[in-house]
Structures are given as C-alpha cells and as structure tokens.
Amino acid sequence: MRLQPLFLLLASSAALAACAGGAAMNAARSSNGVLPATKHPEASATVVSLGSYNINPSKVFIAGISSGGFMAVQMHFAFSGTFKGAAIYAGGPDECAQDSETTALEDCGGDGTYGSELTPSENFINANQDTAGMDPVSNISGQEVYLWSGTGDTVVPQKTMNDLQTEYQHYGATVTYDNSFDAEHGWESLDGTVSCDTLSSPYMILCDQGSTPYDSQKKWLTLFFGTLNARNSGTLNGSLMQFSQSPYGGGSNSLDTTGYIFVPQSCASGTQCGLVVALDGCEQYQGVIGDEFVTLAGLDEYADTNDFIVLYPYQTESSSNPEGCWDWWGYTNSSYALKSGVQMTDVDDMVKHVMGGTSSTPTPAPTPTPSPTAAPSSTPSPTPTTSPTPSPTATPPYSQEQTNTVVEFYAEGDITLQEYLELGQAYGYDSEITLYDCNGTWTDSSTCGPMTY
C-alpha cells in the first residue's frame, strides 16, 4: 500500500489556507523565495565534506518539526547519552506509530485524528533502554525539553503532544510546553513567512504574543544554553555550508545527498562550542522548499552570537516515502526507532563526525636517541657501582579519575539516580567532586571502596 505520511493533507490544504496575513507575507517575498530581510550568508556553491569541531559534549541538543519532531524524539531516547535535551514542534511519543502506517495516520497524526499510543511507547522504551538499541533512559532525568503544539494544529492533534509531555515527565525531564497559541502545523520562528493560524508551505509560521512577534527559539535555546546574547539581526558572520551526506548513507533510504551546517566564526577558530541538530518535516526537504528551513528556522541568528553550531541533516522523497518524511513509522526497517535504524545511524554518524574535534590525540612520547657504542679499549672498564633497585610505583586500583560536578556526572550516565541524590546532598549538586572508575563503577573512594558520601 502506498504510504500516506504525516503531511497527507498539506498539498491540497495549502491552496485553501492562504489567509490575508499569509498572502501579505508571501507578497513581500523576493523572486528567489526569500524575504528581503534575510541576512544569511550564501552557502558555498561547492559541496564540502563535513568538518569536525571542538564541541562541548554537555551542550549537544536536538530539535525537529513534524516527522522531524517524531524523529528527534526517537534520536533523543535512543542516544540520550549524546543529546542533553530536545525541542519538539508537533511531534509525538517515541515509536508512536508502532511500526504501522495505519497507527501513524490514525493515532499519531497525518489524518488529524488521535488515539493514545503512550502506554505502548513507554513499554517500548522500558524494554529497549540500556541495551545496544537505546541508551539508559535515566539520562533523560533532569534534561530540559521544550514542546510546541498549536491549539489549531489540524495535522498532529495537540493530544498527541500532550502524551509526549506526559512521557517526558514520566522519565524525569524538565518540560516547558508552549500549547496556548492558536497556531496551525508548523515550525514557529521570528523569521516565519506563514501566518500563525495558516496551514501553508513552507510551514514556517510566525505567531504573536499580544502585539509582539513570538520567538520560540529564544525560549528553548535559553533553556539549553542559559542567558543568550542578542541574535544577530544583521548579516551573519558565520559560514553556511552545504555538505555531502554520501559518506553517511546519503542517496539511499530517503536520505538526501546533501545537508547544511552553520558554523560561527568562533567555532571555526577552535572555540569550544555547543551543537544543535535540527530536523525538518515532510514536504520541507530541499526538492520542495530549497534551503528555507535553514534560513527561516531562527537558529543561525542565535548561533552566530552564542557559540553553537547548527547541523541540518536532510531527508528526501522516495517510492516508499513520496512526501519526503523522516522515518517515524518504519518505511526503512522495523528497527527505525532504535540505534540500528538506518536513518538513526546515519544522523548519529554525522553528529559523531562534527563532534570529532573533541577527542584529542595524545602526543606520542619522543623515541630516545640511542647513545653511540663505545669503541673497544684495552683498558679494563671499572667495575660498575651497584645502584639500589628502585621500589616499583604502586598501581592504583582504579582505571581513571575524573573531577566534575554531581550534575555533570549524572548527566553523563556515570552515576545512578540514587547516587546522584546522595552525592548531591552530601557535596552539593553543583560542587565539583572527584570520582574513580573501578571496573566500570564510579565511586568517591580512591581505594575502590563503596561510595562514602
């Protein structure tokens, strides 16, 4: 059966949904489809190889809209040791579709109908967490999660996002939920070109809070990075590059051959930076809207002044995926929501490559220059004086020691929730302590004894 995915109704609805606000915005657009106010640098015409940068592993996050929202949830739960938070626009619970096209359409979104898949989703997480397919779900506890759902969304019902809120809270995430705007289905942004209550391509909407344009990116980027510098409202100083996805599976399994990456000057110069991975939705791939998801997402303007890179992997259409969606229902294989999922692996490989600059190669010790061999002499050599044999240095019982805050140890999965609570009470959650790795178990005892607290 031909798949009718998440944006099943968008093509026909777009023609009917052009209200006055959306028409005015579209009329203001230049001939190349970009608003005159756009200050993005043009991406290089040459497709480059994806680079590696100095990424702070505690500042890596993922975001997505629609099918990209479902995909971002899958990535977050499967790779919760990598991603330290998520921003989801109109997505739903992990593996919401349960490997079923019908469930995807009727319960999660696509037909605009709803049936709760919360319990099966949590059963899936519980069965797969802390396995080869999924990182420990305890990583989610304490992470910041931002959710967006419009009251007028006719594609993914708000009840589906309410289930996602419940799921994240169940696993201990700190959830911020924007769910009061009379918004249609779309990615909300200061740079959006579609009225808030309109369903229309490119599905980049702009909403108002009172008489002031809303800025949802500022809200969740602040949750992730803390107080932000003002976004660059002029010409961006960083570089927007189109990179080849071929080394990561591009050209197969509905993965496009190219993606985009925005790199601020500071990050290109070696400054340690954060990373945000942003996933577009169905009918937002390059063959339909070009680079408008990148240029209208409202992310690069903040990245330019706040030292974080934005990675935009791209999917495309195929015979099994005619609307160009990310795989959130199983059109590639049944493990689509696990680490072994084809697209999951591809995106993770891109992220690992971008983060490759964080691993430092130890400088090899210099090879000592051999002393020249003395020429034989008829004079007998003096009897050498015997030096005392030095005592061997004791080998510590632990393999490594690390100093970090209690919060960071827990975020990296080194300690359990119980240990996190006990250590936090004993030392202070934001205080730096030293822990020792004793055969994979971390303790505050340098003799590899149990936690002393």
Active-site residue 135, yes or no? Answer: no
- The full length of the chain comes to 453
Of the candidates 94, 185, 191, 197, the residue annotated as catalytic is: 185
User: What's the CA gap between 365 and 194, in Å, rounded?
Assistant: 60
Of the candidates 107, 153, 163, 300, the residue annotated as catalytic is: 153
> Sheet holding 144-148: strands in order across?
174-178, 144-148, 85-89, 55-65, 273-279, 308-312, 258-263, 239-244
User: What's the CA gap between 189 and 194, in Å, rounded?
Assistant: 10
Tell me if 292 sits within 8 A of 312, measured CB to CB.
no
Active-site residue 66, yes or no? Answer: yes
What letter represents residue 314's amino acid? Answer: Y
Of the candidates 13, 40, 66, 121, the residue annotated as catalytic is: 66
User: What's the CA gap between 407 and 429, in Å, rounded?
Assistant: 6
> Sheet holding 204-206: strands in order across?
187-188, 204-206, 194-195
Apex 255 CA angle, 336 and 252, nearest 5:
90
User: What's the CA gap between 1 and 245, in Å, rounded?
Assistant: 29
Which run of H or of E encompasses 303?
Answer: helix 300-306
Q: Which residues are part of the catalytic machinery?
A: 66, 153, 185
